[in-house]
Chain A
Amino acid sequence: MTSQLSSVFKLLADGFSYPGGENLSPEFFKAVKELARDCGLQTGTMDYGSQELQEEYTRLFINAPGGVAAPPYASVYVAGQGLLMQEGHAQAQEFYSRAGLQLADGQEPADFLPLELAFTAVLLERGDLVLLSEFLEKHLWRWFQVFERRVEASGPHPYYSLLVRLTLFYLNKLKEEVFDETT
């Protein structure tokens, strides 16, 4: 079962990557839609254009007047005063190295949301629930909740609103089912 969930997190990782290619395909949207249905979340038709999602992704996560709504980096949320490469980044790096892993390509900071979601998928795939529960409890779950609120508060495009809610749902499930039991 963990491998199914692993795919979910891989999907979410790609969903929070910049829209272009695969993650704009009808198949991708279909999978998102199916998952949303599983979670009891409403979705519309989801025939989104690339431009609208790209503009929105840029506004929410890259550069925007007034600052981006929700920088997708742990460091910004974890005692780092809104800066990159602080404590939150060090935490992520520490977890990766405990799993014997490092980033394949080095330009995104280690605490970039898609990387953390992909890391969750790796741990699920490996069945390393001990490390996963710690990763969630001490790190990802903590900051993702704040991140989710900030995205939702910024009047996001329905697609990104759906993605954060979906992620919240699955993280929450993991939290209940994995770490509440391993602790």
Chain B
Amino acid sequence: MSQLAMVIDLKRCVGCHACALACRAEWSIPVDYHRNWVYRMGPEKTPHGLSYTFYPGLCNHCDDPKCVSVCPVDPEERTFKDPKTGKKKTIAIHATFKHPFTGAVLIDKTRCIGCGSCVEACPYGARYLNEELDDPKADKCTFCVERLEAGEQPACVKTCITRARIFGDLSDKSSEVHKIVASGKAIRLTSKEVNIGPNVYYTGLKKDTHLLIKTYAPHERKWENVKAPTRRDIIMAAVRRLKSAV
């Protein structure tokens, strides 16, 4: 099975925010929210020297996506196609799901009820719900699957001014992402408490990856505290959707 993945090279990244804005422009993300962010760290002392580096973040399209397991929408069968082989597979999915062929974690907006469970569950803060809309839906990075289908690169990858963002299929042994990950040089943002198999990797100077993990590896198992939406929430969401449909 394929798994789309990204490696971000912090030695190359200059913290310019181009990626965050290309994503915002491409997907018209309102300014109060983001699918893609760049946070600054340091200058701060680390055991490996003074570090001044960046956390370019996005959804990790995790192996064990907790956002998916908390989604309360009743599973429905859907048939997926392998973009490479054309092979088909039918599985039952919630409103948010992990694509069986590409490994991208996606949201079926037509079925999302906007309860926000997944937003709360994600330990990386990768999702948002725009509550100002009449009918809010969860949203987050899609690895730009729509663009991939059209033969384009993800918007953030295409604009990255230093080519710090390397994107590809981990299962493809000839891909750059595979090579870097296989070399063991890349790290992931995980901790003892939170290890759900993120597919965004980071490489770079030791001091920089050290500071990144220290500052941003999540420790809180947020998904364990997600309250299932009440019947009332679900009914209200249905009413909202009906209203905005007329």
Contact = CB atoms under 8 A, between A and B. Distances in A.
Interface of A: 79, 81
Interface residues of B, number: 5
Contacts of B32: 81
A130 to B, nearest CB: 15
A137 B31 CA distance: 27
A43 B226 CA distance: 59
B133 A81 contact: no
Nearest to B130: A79
Interface string B128-155: 0000110000000000000000000000
Interface of B: 30-32, 132-133
B31 A79 contact: no
A81 B132 CA distance: 10
5 contacts: A79-B132, A79-B133, A81-B30, A81-B31, A81-B32
A180 to B, nearest CB: 14
A81 B30 CA distance: 7
Contacts of A79: 132-133
B49 to A, nearest CB: 42
A161 to B, nearest CB: 29
Contacts of A81: 30-32
Contacts of B30: 81
A179 B28 CA distance: 32
A48 B196 CA distance: 70
A175 to B, nearest CB: 16
Contacts of B31: 81
A22 to B, nearest CB: 40
Instruction: Please list the 4 inter-chain residue pairs (A to B) with the smallest Cβ-Cβ separation, ordered nearest first.
Output: A81-B30, A81-B31, A79-B133, A79-B132
